[in-house]
Structures are given as structure tokens and as C-alpha cells.
């Protein structure tokens, strides 16, 4: 007898996850969760890293035009070269069918007066992520 409390099979979980992902793509919402970074380069023994994210054009790798040109940032993690973030999730809505790239920049915060220093950068294809 089944009590109805069994967890869904791995195949059913994978199917639901795929359905959820396809629905999110149809709606044009992209969600990025920042978890952490490792082995960051630094001129000093420690850094105060944060991550900046923005959508960029596929062909020219320039920021998308308004209203999609926004840059979102994580909180600053003080004094580490291996930061970890909790609940740092960002949503980009109304992303068109020509999927852009997400530019991920890890920056070293240098206080409110000085500009942050770039520690590393990568552009990630959303189209490639869609097939995962």
C-alpha cells in the first residue's frame, strides 16, 4: 500500500525541472544565482570581492540597450580570496528570443571613494546554458 508520501522518481524530477526551465525561457526570465569564487588574484593577501552581472549582446558583447542595460551586484565579502554568497539571486525579465550573454565580473571593492578593481571576467552564453 502506498501512503502517498513517496518522493517522485528521479525521472519525474528531471522532467519537472525541464518543464520549469522551458516555461521560464518562454516567459523571458533569466535567473542567476551567485554562489562563490575561488583562487582570486590579488596584489595583497586579501580582497573585498563582489560580483557584478549584466546582460550583453551576443555579436558585439556590448551591454544591451535600455531597459535591459542594468547592472546588478552582490554584497561585498570582506577579507577573502575565496568568497561565498548566500541567497544572491538576480532576475532579468523580458529577455528576448535571441539570447544574450551574461557578463560576470568579480571586482575588489576599494571603498566609496576609489573605483573597484577588476579581478576577473567571463561572458557566459545563455543559449549554451539552456541546453544543460
pLDDT, tens digit, 9 for 90 and up, residues 7-30: 566 677 667 656 655 655 556 778
The predicted pLDDT at position 69 comes to 79
Full-model pTM: 0.73
Between the alpha carbon of residue 17 and those of residues 38, 53, 79, 89, 101, the distances in Å are: 28, 24, 37, 18, 22
Grid cell digits, residue 76? 561585498
Residues 74, 48: contact at Cβ < 8 Å? no
CA distance 83 to 78: 8
The string of DSSP codes covering 22-38 is: HHHHHHT-EEEEEEE--
Phi-psi category of 52—alpha, beta or left, where left has phi over 0 and alpha has psi -120 to 50? Answer: beta
Identify the pLDDT of residue 101: 87
Amino acid at each position: 500500500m502506498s501512503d502517498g508520501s513517496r518522493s517522485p522518481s528521479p525521472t519525474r524530477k528531471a522532467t519537472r525541472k525541464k518543464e520549469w526551465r522551458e516555461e521560464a525561457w518562454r516567459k523571458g526570465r533569466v535567473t542567476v544565482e551567485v554562489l562563490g569564487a575561488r583562487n582570486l588574484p590579488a596584489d595583497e593577501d586579501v580582497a573585498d570581492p563582489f560580483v557584478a552581472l549584466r546582460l550583453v549582446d551576443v555579436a558585439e558583447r556590448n551591454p544591451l540597450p535600455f531597459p535591459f542595460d542594468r547592472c546588478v551586484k552582490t554584497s561585498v565579502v570582506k577579507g577573502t580570496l575565496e568568497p561565498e554568497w548566500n541567497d544572491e539571486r538576480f532576475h532579468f525579465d523580458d529577455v528576448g528570443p535571441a539570447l544574450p550573454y551574461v557578463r560576470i565580473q568579480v571586482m575588489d571593492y576599494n571603498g566609496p571613494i576609489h573605483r573597484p578593481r577588476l579581478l576577473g571576467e567571463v561572458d557566459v552564453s545563455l543559449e549554451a546554458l539552456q541546453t544543460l
